Amino acid sequence: MSIQADHIRKQFGAFSALNDVSLQVPEGQLVALLGPSGSGKTTLLRVIAGLEIPDSGRVSLAGRDVTGAGPGERGIGFVFQHYALFRHMTVAQNVAFGLTVKGRHERPDRATIDAKVAELLKLVQLDWAAGRYPTQLSGGQRQRVALARALAVGPQVLLLDEPFGALDAAVRQELRDWLRELHNEIHLTSVFVTHDQQEALEIADQVVVFNEGRIEQIGTPDEVYEHPATPFVYRFLGKTNVLRGEGVLEYARPHDIELSRESGGDFRQAQIRHVHLVGSEARVEVQDAGGLVLSAEMPKAQFRELAMGTGEQVYYRPRRVTRYPAT
Ligand SMILES: Nc1ncnc2c1ncn2[C@@H]1O[C@H](COP(=O)(O)OP(=O)(O)OP(=O)(O)O)[C@@H](O)[C@H]1O
Protein backbone atom coordinates (compact mmCIF):
# COMPACT_ATOMS: atom_id res chain seq x y z
CA MET A 1 0.00 0.00 0.00
CA SER A 2 1.50 3.39 -0.94
CA ILE A 3 1.65 6.17 1.65
CA GLN A 4 1.22 9.84 0.94
CA ALA A 5 1.52 12.68 3.42
CA ASP A 6 0.72 16.16 2.13
CA HIS A 7 1.65 19.42 3.85
CA ILE A 8 1.49 18.01 7.36
CA ARG A 9 1.70 20.48 10.23
CA LYS A 10 1.72 19.55 13.90
CA GLN A 11 2.22 21.89 16.84
CA PHE A 12 2.71 20.91 20.47
CA GLY A 13 1.80 24.16 22.23
CA ALA A 14 4.01 26.82 20.68
CA PHE A 15 6.46 24.21 19.38
CA SER A 16 6.26 23.26 15.75
CA ALA A 17 7.09 19.52 15.53
CA LEU A 18 6.16 19.19 11.84
CA ASN A 19 6.25 22.19 9.60
CA ASP A 20 4.73 21.54 6.17
CA VAL A 21 6.05 18.03 5.65
CA SER A 22 5.19 16.15 2.46
CA LEU A 23 6.29 12.63 1.67
CA GLN A 24 5.43 9.89 -0.78
CA VAL A 25 6.27 6.25 -0.15
CA PRO A 26 5.64 4.04 -3.18
CA GLU A 27 4.13 0.61 -2.59
CA GLY A 28 6.70 -1.97 -1.49
CA GLN A 29 9.49 0.43 -0.54
CA LEU A 30 11.55 0.50 2.63
CA VAL A 31 11.96 4.14 3.65
CA ALA A 32 14.09 5.57 6.46
CA LEU A 33 13.18 8.74 8.35
CA LEU A 34 16.59 10.00 9.46
CA GLY A 35 17.43 13.00 11.60
CA PRO A 36 18.66 14.21 14.97
CA SER A 37 16.67 13.74 18.15
CA GLY A 38 13.59 15.95 18.26
CA SER A 39 13.49 16.63 14.51
CA GLY A 40 9.96 15.23 14.06
CA LYS A 41 10.52 11.69 12.76
CA THR A 42 8.43 9.89 15.36
CA THR A 43 5.70 12.51 15.12
CA LEU A 44 5.38 11.89 11.38
CA LEU A 45 5.30 8.12 11.96
CA ARG A 46 2.52 8.58 14.52
CA VAL A 47 0.59 10.83 12.12
CA ILE A 48 0.81 8.12 9.44
CA ALA A 49 -0.37 5.56 11.99
CA GLY A 50 -3.32 7.67 13.14
CA LEU A 51 -1.96 7.94 16.69
CA GLU A 52 -1.54 11.67 16.23
CA ILE A 53 -3.95 13.94 14.35
CA PRO A 54 -2.19 16.63 12.29
CA ASP A 55 -3.29 20.27 12.70
CA SER A 56 -3.45 20.49 8.92
CA GLY A 57 -2.49 18.39 5.92
CA ARG A 58 -3.62 15.06 4.59
CA VAL A 59 -2.59 11.41 4.90
CA SER A 60 -3.56 8.91 2.21
CA LEU A 61 -2.99 5.17 2.13
CA ALA A 62 -3.24 3.51 -1.28
CA GLY A 63 -4.82 6.74 -2.53
CA ARG A 64 -7.56 6.75 0.14
CA ASP A 65 -7.75 9.77 2.45
CA VAL A 66 -7.39 8.42 6.02
CA THR A 67 -6.65 11.72 7.78
CA GLY A 68 -9.67 11.34 10.06
CA ALA A 69 -9.51 7.52 10.41
CA GLY A 70 -8.46 5.85 13.67
CA PRO A 71 -5.36 3.62 13.92
CA GLY A 72 -7.48 0.45 13.83
CA GLU A 73 -8.90 1.34 10.43
CA ARG A 74 -5.57 1.80 8.68
CA GLY A 75 -4.16 -1.72 8.33
CA ILE A 76 -0.85 -0.81 9.91
CA GLY A 77 1.65 -2.93 11.86
CA PHE A 78 3.98 -1.41 14.45
CA VAL A 79 7.31 -2.22 15.99
CA PHE A 80 8.76 0.04 18.68
CA GLN A 81 12.19 0.42 20.19
CA HIS A 82 11.16 -1.22 23.44
CA TYR A 83 9.70 -4.54 22.46
CA ALA A 84 6.48 -4.62 24.43
CA LEU A 85 6.06 -8.38 24.46
CA PHE A 86 3.76 -9.99 27.01
CA ARG A 87 6.04 -11.57 29.58
CA HIS A 88 3.55 -14.20 30.72
CA MET A 89 2.96 -15.48 27.18
CA THR A 90 5.20 -17.75 25.14
CA VAL A 91 6.73 -16.55 21.91
CA ALA A 92 4.03 -18.37 19.92
CA GLN A 93 1.26 -16.86 22.06
CA ASN A 94 2.75 -13.40 21.62
CA VAL A 95 2.79 -13.77 17.86
CA ALA A 96 -0.76 -15.17 17.85
CA PHE A 97 -2.06 -12.36 20.07
CA GLY A 98 -3.38 -10.00 17.37
CA LEU A 99 -5.27 -12.86 15.73
CA THR A 100 -6.76 -14.32 18.91
CA VAL A 101 -8.24 -10.98 20.02
CA LYS A 102 -10.07 -10.39 16.75
CA GLY A 103 -13.85 -10.38 16.88
CA ARG A 104 -15.52 -13.76 16.59
CA HIS A 105 -16.48 -13.30 12.94
CA GLU A 106 -13.02 -12.22 11.83
CA ARG A 107 -11.04 -14.62 14.02
CA PRO A 108 -9.41 -17.51 12.15
CA ASP A 109 -9.84 -20.98 13.66
CA ARG A 110 -7.18 -22.44 15.95
CA ALA A 111 -5.48 -24.54 13.26
CA THR A 112 -5.21 -21.54 10.91
CA ILE A 113 -3.74 -19.40 13.71
CA ASP A 114 -1.21 -22.11 14.59
CA ALA A 115 -0.18 -22.47 10.96
CA LYS A 116 0.22 -18.69 10.58
CA VAL A 117 2.29 -18.45 13.78
CA ALA A 118 4.54 -21.31 12.62
CA GLU A 119 5.01 -19.64 9.24
CA LEU A 120 5.90 -16.27 10.82
CA LEU A 121 8.29 -17.78 13.35
CA LYS A 122 10.05 -19.51 10.49
CA LEU A 123 10.21 -16.21 8.60
CA VAL A 124 11.94 -14.50 11.56
CA GLN A 125 14.05 -17.63 12.14
CA LEU A 126 12.67 -18.32 15.59
CA ASP A 127 10.68 -21.50 14.99
CA TRP A 128 12.87 -23.21 17.59
CA ALA A 129 11.77 -20.67 20.23
CA ALA A 130 7.97 -21.03 19.95
CA GLY A 131 7.58 -22.38 23.50
CA ARG A 132 10.00 -20.01 25.19
CA TYR A 133 9.12 -16.93 27.20
CA PRO A 134 10.42 -13.47 26.23
CA THR A 135 12.78 -13.35 29.23
CA GLN A 136 14.53 -16.44 27.83
CA LEU A 137 15.46 -14.59 24.63
CA SER A 138 18.13 -12.04 23.74
CA GLY A 139 17.17 -8.46 22.84
CA GLY A 140 17.60 -9.09 19.13
CA GLN A 141 15.47 -12.23 19.28
CA ARG A 142 12.73 -10.37 21.16
CA GLN A 143 12.73 -7.69 18.50
CA ARG A 144 12.24 -10.38 15.85
CA VAL A 145 9.27 -11.73 17.85
CA ALA A 146 7.84 -8.19 17.96
CA LEU A 147 8.19 -8.03 14.19
CA ALA A 148 6.48 -11.42 13.71
CA ARG A 149 3.68 -10.23 15.99
CA ALA A 150 3.23 -7.05 13.96
CA LEU A 151 3.11 -9.08 10.74
CA ALA A 152 0.62 -11.63 12.08
CA VAL A 153 -2.47 -9.53 11.40
CA GLY A 154 -1.46 -9.04 7.77
CA PRO A 155 -0.79 -5.29 7.80
CA GLN A 156 -0.56 -3.41 4.52
CA VAL A 157 2.07 -1.08 5.96
CA LEU A 158 4.74 -1.65 8.59
CA LEU A 159 5.99 1.22 10.76
CA LEU A 160 9.13 0.76 12.86
CA ASP A 161 10.25 3.32 15.44
CA GLU A 162 13.96 2.90 16.18
CA PRO A 163 13.41 -0.86 16.18
CA PHE A 164 17.05 -1.65 16.92
CA GLY A 165 17.76 1.39 19.08
CA ALA A 166 18.16 -0.47 22.35
CA LEU A 167 20.52 -3.15 21.04
CA ASP A 168 24.31 -3.33 20.96
CA ALA A 169 26.25 -2.59 17.77
CA ALA A 170 26.86 -6.17 16.59
CA VAL A 171 23.24 -7.23 17.08
CA ARG A 172 22.03 -4.04 15.40
CA GLN A 173 24.14 -4.82 12.35
CA GLU A 174 22.83 -8.36 12.21
CA LEU A 175 19.18 -7.29 12.50
CA ARG A 176 19.71 -4.54 9.97
CA ASP A 177 20.93 -7.01 7.32
CA TRP A 178 18.16 -9.34 8.29
CA LEU A 179 15.43 -6.67 8.00
CA ARG A 180 16.68 -5.79 4.52
CA GLU A 181 16.54 -9.44 3.47
CA LEU A 182 13.11 -9.89 5.01
CA HIS A 183 11.92 -6.84 3.14
CA ASN A 184 13.29 -8.21 -0.13
CA GLU A 185 11.28 -11.32 0.56
CA ILE A 186 7.90 -9.84 1.52
CA HIS A 187 7.98 -6.35 -0.07
CA LEU A 188 5.74 -4.80 2.54
CA THR A 189 5.65 -0.99 2.36
CA SER A 190 7.70 -0.03 5.43
CA VAL A 191 8.82 3.16 7.13
CA PHE A 192 11.40 3.13 9.88
CA VAL A 193 12.70 5.87 12.12
CA THR A 194 16.38 6.04 12.95
CA HIS A 195 18.97 8.59 13.99
CA ASP A 196 21.73 6.26 12.78
CA GLN A 197 23.05 7.39 9.36
CA GLN A 198 24.72 4.08 8.65
CA GLU A 199 21.54 2.17 9.35
CA ALA A 200 19.51 4.38 6.99
CA LEU A 201 22.13 4.34 4.23
CA GLU A 202 22.62 0.59 4.39
CA ILE A 203 19.09 -0.68 4.21
CA ALA A 204 16.63 1.92 2.92
CA ASP A 205 15.41 2.35 -0.65
CA GLN A 206 14.80 6.03 0.11
CA VAL A 207 16.19 8.18 2.91
CA VAL A 208 14.23 11.17 4.22
CA VAL A 209 16.45 13.58 6.13
CA PHE A 210 14.69 15.62 8.84
CA ASN A 211 15.82 18.78 10.55
CA GLU A 212 13.74 20.81 13.00
CA GLY A 213 10.34 19.65 11.79
CA ARG A 214 11.15 19.96 8.08
CA ILE A 215 12.43 17.63 5.40
CA GLU A 216 15.84 18.70 4.13
CA GLN A 217 16.19 16.06 1.42
CA ILE A 218 14.62 12.88 0.07
CA GLY A 219 16.64 10.53 -2.09
CA THR A 220 18.23 7.13 -2.48
CA PRO A 221 21.10 6.44 -0.06
CA ASP A 222 23.55 7.12 -2.87
CA GLU A 223 21.86 10.42 -3.83
CA VAL A 224 21.78 11.83 -0.32
CA TYR A 225 25.32 10.70 0.48
CA GLU A 226 26.96 11.71 -2.80
CA HIS A 227 24.88 14.82 -3.41
CA PRO A 228 23.71 16.25 -0.09
CA ALA A 229 21.27 19.05 -0.93
CA THR A 230 22.16 21.25 2.04
CA PRO A 231 25.07 21.81 4.44
CA PHE A 232 22.94 20.21 7.16
CA VAL A 233 22.56 16.97 5.19
CA TYR A 234 26.27 16.91 4.36
CA ARG A 235 27.25 17.30 8.00
CA PHE A 236 24.65 14.90 9.30
CA LEU A 237 25.63 12.07 6.95
CA GLY A 238 29.29 11.82 7.79
CA LYS A 239 32.43 13.34 9.24
CA THR A 240 33.01 16.73 7.71
CA ASN A 241 36.15 18.75 7.17
CA VAL A 242 35.28 22.44 6.90
CA LEU A 243 37.84 23.86 4.46
CA ARG A 244 36.09 27.21 4.40
CA GLY A 245 33.31 28.28 6.74
CA GLU A 246 32.61 31.83 5.56
CA GLY A 247 31.43 33.24 2.26
CA VAL A 248 31.16 30.05 0.24
CA LEU A 249 31.15 26.93 2.44
CA GLU A 250 33.62 24.24 1.40
CA TYR A 251 33.39 20.74 2.84
CA ALA A 252 35.41 17.57 2.28
CA ARG A 253 35.03 14.05 3.67
CA PRO A 254 38.02 12.56 5.52
CA HIS A 255 38.40 9.80 2.91
CA ASP A 256 38.73 12.50 0.26
CA ILE A 257 41.79 14.06 1.90
CA GLU A 258 44.84 12.66 0.13
CA LEU A 259 48.19 12.62 1.94
CA SER A 260 51.63 12.51 0.32
CA ARG A 261 55.30 12.73 1.32
CA GLU A 262 55.96 14.83 -1.79
CA SER A 263 55.14 18.49 -2.36
CA GLY A 264 53.96 19.75 -5.73
CA GLY A 265 50.83 20.44 -7.69
CA ASP A 266 48.00 21.63 -5.48
CA PHE A 267 49.29 19.80 -2.39
CA ARG A 268 49.59 21.96 0.69
CA GLN A 269 51.96 21.51 3.57
CA ALA A 270 50.79 20.33 6.98
CA GLN A 271 51.94 18.53 10.08
CA ILE A 272 50.66 15.22 11.42
CA ARG A 273 49.09 15.79 14.85
CA HIS A 274 47.62 12.37 15.65
CA VAL A 275 47.32 8.95 14.13
CA HIS A 276 44.55 6.59 15.24
CA LEU A 277 44.49 3.08 13.91
CA VAL A 278 40.91 1.84 14.11
CA GLY A 279 40.10 -1.59 12.70
CA SER A 280 41.23 -1.57 9.08
CA GLU A 281 41.35 2.24 8.91
CA ALA A 282 43.96 4.87 9.66
CA ARG A 283 42.59 8.20 10.87
CA VAL A 284 45.14 10.93 10.59
CA GLU A 285 44.72 14.44 11.94
CA VAL A 286 46.82 17.09 10.22
CA GLN A 287 47.21 20.83 10.75
CA ASP A 288 48.29 23.15 7.95
CA ALA A 289 50.29 26.35 8.11
CA GLY A 290 47.12 28.44 8.37
CA GLY A 291 46.06 26.51 11.49
CA LEU A 292 43.35 24.51 9.70
CA VAL A 293 42.90 21.09 11.30
CA LEU A 294 41.74 18.31 8.99
CA SER A 295 40.94 14.67 9.40
CA ALA A 296 42.10 12.21 6.71
CA GLU A 297 41.05 8.58 6.52
CA MET A 298 42.55 5.78 4.47
CA PRO A 299 43.07 2.04 4.63
CA LYS A 300 45.75 1.15 7.17
CA ALA A 301 47.94 -0.47 4.50
CA GLN A 302 47.96 2.75 2.49
CA PHE A 303 48.99 4.76 5.54
CA ARG A 304 51.82 2.32 6.26
CA GLU A 305 53.19 2.96 2.75
CA LEU A 306 53.56 6.61 3.69
CA ALA A 307 55.73 5.49 6.60
CA MET A 308 55.11 8.69 8.56
CA GLY A 309 54.19 9.42 12.14
CA THR A 310 53.09 12.15 14.52
CA GLY A 311 54.97 15.46 14.22
CA GLU A 312 56.21 14.88 10.67
CA GLN A 313 55.64 17.17 7.68
CA VAL A 314 53.17 15.90 5.15
CA TYR A 315 51.35 17.27 2.12
CA TYR A 316 47.62 17.09 1.64
CA ARG A 317 45.10 17.72 -1.09
CA PRO A 318 41.31 17.49 -0.96
CA ARG A 319 40.33 15.18 -3.81
CA ARG A 320 36.73 16.28 -3.79
CA VAL A 321 35.22 19.45 -2.36
CA THR A 322 31.50 20.20 -2.00
CA ARG A 323 30.52 23.86 -2.05
CA TYR A 324 27.42 25.61 -0.73
CA PRO A 325 26.55 29.27 -0.82
CA ALA A 326 26.65 30.62 2.75
CA THR A 327 23.22 31.64 3.95
N1 LIG B 1 2.92 14.80 22.89
C2 LIG B 1 3.84 15.75 22.83
N3 LIG B 1 3.72 16.87 23.59
C4 LIG B 1 4.63 17.87 23.50
N5 LIG B 1 5.73 17.82 22.74
C6 LIG B 1 5.91 16.74 21.98
C7 LIG B 1 4.99 15.64 21.99
N8 LIG B 1 5.45 14.70 21.14
C9 LIG B 1 6.60 15.18 20.62
N10 LIG B 1 6.89 16.40 21.13
C11 LIG B 1 8.04 17.24 20.76
O12 LIG B 1 8.12 17.34 19.35
C13 LIG B 1 9.47 17.28 18.90
C14 LIG B 1 9.61 16.19 17.87
O15 LIG B 1 9.49 14.93 18.51
P16 LIG B 1 9.70 13.56 17.75
O17 LIG B 1 9.49 12.48 18.73
O18 LIG B 1 8.89 13.56 16.51
O19 LIG B 1 11.23 13.66 17.35
P20 LIG B 1 12.17 12.54 16.77
O21 LIG B 1 12.82 13.16 15.58
O22 LIG B 1 11.45 11.28 16.57
O23 LIG B 1 13.23 12.41 17.92
P24 LIG B 1 13.84 11.09 18.64
O25 LIG B 1 14.84 10.58 17.68
O26 LIG B 1 14.45 11.67 19.87
O27 LIG B 1 12.70 10.18 18.91
C28 LIG B 1 10.32 17.04 20.14
O29 LIG B 1 10.91 18.27 20.50
C30 LIG B 1 9.33 16.58 21.19
O31 LIG B 1 9.73 17.00 22.47
Question: What number of CA atoms fall less than 13 Å from residue 87's CA on the CB side?
Answer: 1
Find the length of the chain.
327
Buried b (16+ CB within 10 A) or exposed e, 154-183: ebbbbbbbbbbbbbeeebbeebbebbeebb
What angle separates helix 169-186 from helix 110-123, to the nearest 10 degrees? 120
Residue nearest to atom 4 of ligand 1 (CA): 12
Q: How confident is residue 182, by pLDDT bands cut at 50, 70 and 90?
A: confident
Q: Does 155 contact ligand 1 (Cβ within 6 A)? A: no
- Is the per-residue pLDDT at 254 higher than 80? yes
Residue-wise pLDDT for 5-56, tens only, equals 999 999 999 999 999 999 999 999 999 999 999 999 999 999 999 999 999 9
Average of per-residue pLDDT across 78-102? 85
Q: Does 41 contact ligand 1 (Cβ within 6 A)? A: yes
What is the set of domains in the chain, with CATH numbers?
3-233 (3.40.50.300), 241-325 (2.40.50.140)
CA separation for the pair 133, 250 (Å, rounded): 54
Residue nearest to atom 16 of ligand 1 (CA): 40
Distance from the CA of 14 to the center of ligand 1, in angstroms?
13
Average of per-residue pLDDT across 143-149? 88
Residue-wise pLDDT for 197-226, tens only, equals 999 999 999 999 999 999 999 999 999 999
Residue nearest to atom 28 of ligand 1 (CA): 38
ipTM of the assembly? Answer: 0.92
Strands 56-61 and 64-65: antiparallel
CA separation for the pair 40, 56 (Å, rounded): 15
Q: What is the pLDDT of residue 83?
A: 60
Q: What is the pLDDT of residue 164?
A: 80
pTM of this prediction exceeds 0.80: yes
